[in-house]
Amino acid sequence: MGTLSFSLLIAILTWIVWLQLDNAFFYLQQHWEVALTMVFGSLIAGATSEGGGAIAFPVFTKLLHIPPHEAKVFSLAIQSVGMVAASLVILYMRIKVAWQVIRWASVGGIIGIFVSLFILPTFPPAIVKMSFTAMITSFAITLFILNQKQIKWQNYLPVLKNQEKFILLSVGFLGGIMGGLVGNGIDIITFSAMVLLFRLSEKIATPTSVLLMAFNAVVGFILCISLGQFTPTVQAYWLAAIPVVVIGAPIGAIICSRLERHVISYFLISLIAVELVSSLLLINLTSSVMVASSITFIFFSGLYYWMYSRTPRYLV
């Protein structure tokens, strides 16, 4: 069976289940703007290290004026469908991924998203939105600088030592925290570690981040259900987007496997630039928002610089 046929099979099976729901097309008609958003979100989720939540969260909160806590739950819920579909295609195509990264970052991610959802307090919506923008903007700047230099990119990772395993656990934990706040994060932060710290090619780091986000999204979605956060409103958004993401995310994964690493890199930077501009135009930049986003930007910029400045032991 060819890759496209396998992707189509996943979509058909999902559609069959979706069509068993009462008024399935009513959800699609009632919330067409959600489905339209996820046409682009799912393609980007499968093709880059930015999960569908990186598109859904800013569009929902800035343009559709959906509360951040609902946008977060939706992001985790829809990625548990779309990213899982993309992951199945990645596994079927035998695309190379860094299993060591997935193993250790996933453990940290589970702990992080649990802490984020059950322990951390609720932050004001504007602070959450702008802090998310600050986090990914700091990564875009670092990635842009990195691409101006001649660097020997790796297509594999050696057997990791305890220090490197701890770093991945910590990175996964931080990504899980962000996932519990905005429905996205472990893919971007772990992608950063793979590219900046381990000098792993984006061709491998991207599908690895997709599998990571799929797992973290499923865990987060289950936790949100247990907390009663999967409300009828969020469920309606979710049901409207399901038939779209099971097509878009696998296609995105196929597209990614055929792109050069520098194309993936600059596409990511362009997406983040759009996110930054939209945030500056649409978010009320109060003093508390500016302070919180500045702290976030400085923290992640420092983290990414530390990753970049270290030379992997196998390149010494």
| pLDDT tens, position by position, 98-121 | 999 999 999 999 999 999 999 887
CB proximity list for 134: less than 8 A, separation 6 or greater? 293, 294, 296, 297, 300
- pTM confidence score: 0.85
**Higher confidence at residue 312 or residue 223?**
223
Nearest to 191 by CA among 180, 183, 199: 199
In tens, the pLDDT along 160-189 reads: 888 889 999 999 999 999 888 888 888 888
Q: Which of 202-206, 247-251, 299-303 has the highest mean pLDDT?
A: 299-303
For residue 136, the model assigns a pLDDT of: 81
Answer with the residue of higher pLDDT: 261 or 102: 102
Q: How confident is the model at residue 230 (pLDDT cuts 50, 70, 90)?
A: very high
CB 190 within 8 A of CB 171: yes
Take residue 235 and report the two structure tokens written for it: 């469920």
4-18, 69-83, 259-273, 289-303: the lowest-pLDDT one: 259-273
Cα(205)–Cα(58) distance, rounded to whole angstroms? 24
Is the four-CA dihedral 248, 272, 277, 303 of positive or negative sign? positive
Of 197, 204, 202, nearest to 156 by C-alpha is: 204
With a cut of 80, say whether residue 137 has pLDDT above it: yes
* Res. 314: pLDDT tops 70: no
Q: Is 151 helix (H, G, I), strand (E, B) or coil?
A: coil
Alpha carbon distance 225, 231 (integer Å):
9
CA distance to 203, 215, 253, 279, 292, per residue, from 249 (Å): 17, 15, 6, 25, 33
DSSP 94: T
pLDDT for 268 beyond 70:
yes
Report whether pLDDT(316) > 60: no
- Mean per-residue pLDDT of the chain: 84
Within 10 angstroms of residue 231's Cβ, the number of other Cβ atoms is 14
User: Which of 234, 245, 236, 238 lies closest to 39 in space, CA to CA?
Assistant: 245
Bridge partners of 154, per DSSP, are: 200
Nearest to 149 by CA among 262, 286, 27: 262
Read off the DSSP letter of residue 64: S
pLDDT single digits (tens) 31-67: 888 888 888 777 777 666 666 666 777 777 777 788 8
